[in-house]
Amino acid sequence: MSANVRLGAVTLLTGVGAGLSGMCLALLLHAIQHLAYGYSLSQLMSHESFLAGVSAASGGRRVLAMLLCGLVAGAGWFALYRYGQPLLSIKQAVGRNGVRMPVCSTLCHALLQIITVALGSPLGREVAPREVGSLLAGWLGHYAELEPAECKVLVACGAGAGLAAVYNVPLGGAVFVLELLLVSFSPLAVGLAFATSSIAALVASIGLGNESQYVVPELPLSASLVMWAAVCGPLFGVAAWTYVWLTTKARAAAPRRSWKLPLFSVLNFGVVGICAVALPQLLGNGKGPAQLSFSADLTVEPALVLFALKVLFTVSSLRAGAEGGLLTPGPTNGALMAIALNGIWSIFWPGASAGACAIVGATAFLASSMSMPLTAIVLMLEFTHVGHDMLIPIVLAVAGSLCANRVCA
């Protein structure tokens, strides 16, 4: 079999495998959510959102679910770090030719993230399908005896394909690979990234549907919104830099093989559950509060409260030893912050839609917090399906955010 045929076969199998694994992980997440909070028990994919489900659940059920989340997180990651093979991150796998991610440890790590996020952890779920996609691509490339350079590209593409599968963002998954993981737009990288992400998104849509992540009303473009984006963009950069500094410190200080990990996890998630009795919006990776922000269903005061608590519990969960992504929590923070800033701005210059400000703020925060401006813009466009007119304030805010972030760094 020729080298090109083997490369094509591995590319196809990576896309299909990432799509199927992403679909299965997403369905598992929904199943656990429905069982834990007792909603939409007759179907895995329902139109009832996680926020609606947890809001309808009793306060006691929320606390019990979060205590279970703490037990699973604490016991699971303690056992993994103590007895499993050392984990290899996606960036490490991409950067080390010939080094493959351990199968059992990576799968356990991914499942723990899905289970804890489903139960209500404030961290993101997107790392799990990316890890499984990279794991699959690495082993397929090894068995097909591909060149090291080709294996490196495919490991990165597996991660992008996993992202594309769970969020239905084929373009965003590909750009994520090129901008953040490979930092290359070579013809080989572009071709493989677009192929794997498109195939994965198509395969996953069989079980997950073909819907956008957020339902957003028509948002008007105004001079007030454009000026708001230009003025407030740097504020999102400063906030994102602070957020990254806090989460990095928390993750570095987290216990690994210590008995403190189970104890800290149960205490942390127990406190989250108690606070969720009054504020069910705190549960989960932040998709609910983001949707409320994009729909302009939040006012300044609750947005500020949710912003402060979401940041606090994201940091405390990482410090306790839980794992998860920051791709969904980041935009949520930006959206909540934008609602508050829009409230102040509207006093002096009305006309900027709160929902539009939330989308602009979410993109600016994500761009700076993960150092991926192009990916952030593409992802938010695919997440929300807003019109191209919104690119004007979005790009202005992202530019200001990145400049301020660089000054802070």
302-331 pLDDT, tens digit per residue, is: 999 999 999 999 999 999 999 999 998 999
Burial (CB count within 10 angstroms: exposed 0-12, middle 13-18, buried 19+), residue 24: middle
My answer on whether 127 and 276 are in the same domain is no
My answer on whether 300 and 332 are in the same domain is yes
CA distance 214 to 384: 5
My answer on whether 246 and 144 are in the same domain is no
pLDDT of residue 98: 65
My answer on whether 187 and 247 are in the same domain is no
3-class DSSP state of 124: strand
pLDDT band at 55 (very low <50, low <70, confident <90, very high): very high
My answer on whether 201 and 283 are in the same domain is no
Lowest mean pLDDT among 42-56, 112-126, 332-346, 383-397: 42-56
Last residue of a domain, one of 147, 182, 208: 208
54 in any annotated domain: yes
pLDDT of residue 257: 85
My answer on whether 105 and 169 are in the same domain is yes
pLDDT of residue 1: 64
33 in any annotated domain: yes
pLDDT of residue 95: 77
56 in any annotated domain: yes
pLDDT per residue as tens digits for the range 92-125: 888 776 678 999 999 999 999 999 999 999 999 9
Last residue of a domain, one of 179, 208, 237: 208
* b/e map 220-247, b = 16+ CB within 10 Å: ebbebbbbbbeebbbbbbebbbebbebb
My answer on whether 194 and 231 are in the same domain is no
CA distance 268 to 271: 5
Continuous H helices in 39-126: 50-56, 59-83, 90-95, 103-119
Considering only CA atoms, which of 280, 276, 296 is closest in space to residue 361? 296
Q: What is the mean pLDDT of the chain?
A: 93
pLDDT per residue as tens digits for the range 149-185: 899 999 999 999 999 999 999 999 999 999 999 988 9
Q: Name 186's Cβ contacts closer than 8 Å, sequence gap at least 6.
A: none
CA distance 277 to 265: 19
My answer on whether 267 and 392 are in the same domain is yes
The pair phi, psi for residue 47, each rounded to 5°, is -85, -5
Last residue of a domain, one of 208, 233, 252: 208
pLDDT of residue 256: 86
Considering only CA atoms, which of 363, 356, 123, 124 is closest in space to residue 236? 363
CA distance 349 to 59: 41
Quick one: average pLDDT of 266-274? 97
* b/e map 342-381, b = 16+ CB within 10 Å: bbebbeeeeebbbbbbbbbbbbbbbbbbbbbbebbbbbbb
In this structure, are residues 361 and 334 in contact, taking their beta carbons and an 8 Å threshold?
yes
The pair phi, psi for residue 124, each rounded to 5°, is -90, 160
Q: Name 187's Cβ contacts closer than 8 Å, sequence gap at least 6.
A: none
In this structure, are residues 113 and 123 in contact, taking their beta carbons and an 8 Å threshold?
yes
pLDDT band at 70 (very low <50, low <70, confident <90, very high): very high
pLDDT of residue 124: 92
3-class DSSP state of 325: strand
214 in any annotated domain: no
Host H or E run for residue 356: helix 354-369
216 in any annotated domain: no
My answer on whether 23 and 165 are in the same domain is yes
Q: Domain of 400: which CATH number? A: 1.10.3080.10
Burial (CB count within 10 angstroms: exposed 0-12, middle 13-18, buried 19+), residue 403: middle
In this structure, are residues 368 and 241 in contact, taking their beta carbons and an 8 Å threshold?
yes
- Total H helices, total E strands in the chain: 17, 0
Hey, which of 38-47, 58-67, 179-188, 214-223 has the most confident mean pLDDT?
58-67
**β-strand partners of 124:** 325
In the chain, the number of structural domains is 2
Q: Note the pTM of the prediction, 2 decimals.
A: 0.94
179 in any annotated domain: yes
289 token code pair: 């509060």
CA distance 49 to 291: 10
225 token code pair: 């919104």
My answer on whether 53 and 93 are in the same domain is yes
My answer on whether 229 and 112 are in the same domain is no
Spacing of C-alpha 277 from chain mean position: 25
pLDDT of residue 92: 87
Q: How many CB atoms lie within 10 A of CB 51?
A: 18
81 in any annotated domain: yes
215 in any annotated domain: no
In this structure, are residues 163 and 169 in contact, taking their beta carbons and an 8 Å threshold?
yes
pLDDT per residue as tens digits for the range 374-404: 999 999 999 999 988 999 999 999 999 999 9
pLDDT of residue 142: 87
Considering only CA atoms, which of 226, 140, 148 is closest in space to residue 188? 148
My answer on whether 158 and 282 are in the same domain is no
Domain that holds residue 372: 223-408
